[in-house]
Structure 1
């Protein structure tokens, strides 16, 4: 799937106070749903990893959702570093440290994943621990 099929926005103050990354998909029907499905089951939050890879200019990057079990990309979307940093900051300000990923397909159907980890990498693929959202007690 192409990155330009996706629009990324951050709600640091959603109605219930949970920081939310909204990813809207406007590509071909069914393509996203197919990537979110393994066999007859839809991937749940424990099967999805969220990462952000900064580009060399450091102001933009690629937000990715991957299937934790297979390592396959579910999607990649262009996003600004500022938006991702604001999401991480808002999640860190919460006592429980979680955020949501709200993924809306081209038919308007949404799926919400509650997450606590968002790994940020530089353009060379090195983990930026200080810029990442990593829950206490998690060993990488």
Structure 2
């Protein structure tokens, strides 16, 4: 799937908000490709337990950029990926670290995939791994729940 089919829009990243910070991945490519990526081999939709979220830096400078991605945990295949600036991802991580998450939330942030303005998938997550340009995990910039060993 081409990255230029996807744009990243952040919502509710204010630290005083009462809604989960959300990364919206707006997709405008072929619909059959998106549907294929969002389902498993049996045709069932991927649930939040089978999707990982990561950000890989490509450049480390004042205008740092990278790739924000959803990955199928079972196969390791990219589900959706998009070019993003590091500052946006940092805003998402900072907002997800706030202390006042909604009580009914299963995660501390949400990733939504949309096509033509309609939600096609939504995942509440607690983990977002951030890697440097050489593939090293940047723990201080990542969301890693307590008790999770990597």
Q: Do these two structures clear the TM 0.5 threshold for a shared fold by scoring above it?
A: yes
Q: Is the 8 A contact 2:26 2:117 kept in 1?
A: no
Compared with structure 1, are the counterparts of its residues 106 and 32 closer, same or farther at alpha carbon in structure 2 (3 Å cutoff)? farther
Aligned match of 2:47: 44
Name the TM-score, length of structure 1 as normaliser: 0.92
Q: Is the 8 A contact 1:29 1:106 kept in 2?
A: no
Q: How many residues align?
A: 140
Name the TM-score, length of structure 2 as normaliser: 0.86
Over residues 48-95 of structure 1, what are the superposed CA-to-partner deviations in whole Å (9 max), with x where a residue is unaligned? 000000112441110011000111111211111011000000010135
Compared with structure 1, are the counterparts of its residues 57 and 64 closer, same or farther at alpha carbon in structure 2 (3 Å cutoff)? same
Compared with structure 1, are the counterparts of its residues 94 and 21 closer, same or farther at alpha carbon in structure 2 (3 Å cutoff)? farther
Compared with structure 1, are the counterparts of its residues 33 and 16 closer, same or farther at alpha carbon in structure 2 (3 Å cutoff)? farther
Name segments (4+ residues, structure 1) moved above 4 Å: none
Q: Does structure 1 residue 56 correspond to structure 2 residue 66?
A: no
Q: Does structure 1 residue 114 correspond to structure 2 residue 116?
A: no
RMSD, aligned CA: 1.9
SS state at 1:101 partner: strand
Aligned match of 1:89: 94
For structure 1, the residue ranges without an aligned partner over 5 or more in a row are: none
Aligned match of 2:84: 79
For structure 2, the residue ranges without an aligned partner over 5 or more in a row are: 102-106
CA–CA separation in structure 1 for the residues paired with 2:18 and 2:43: 31
Aligned match of 2:10: 10
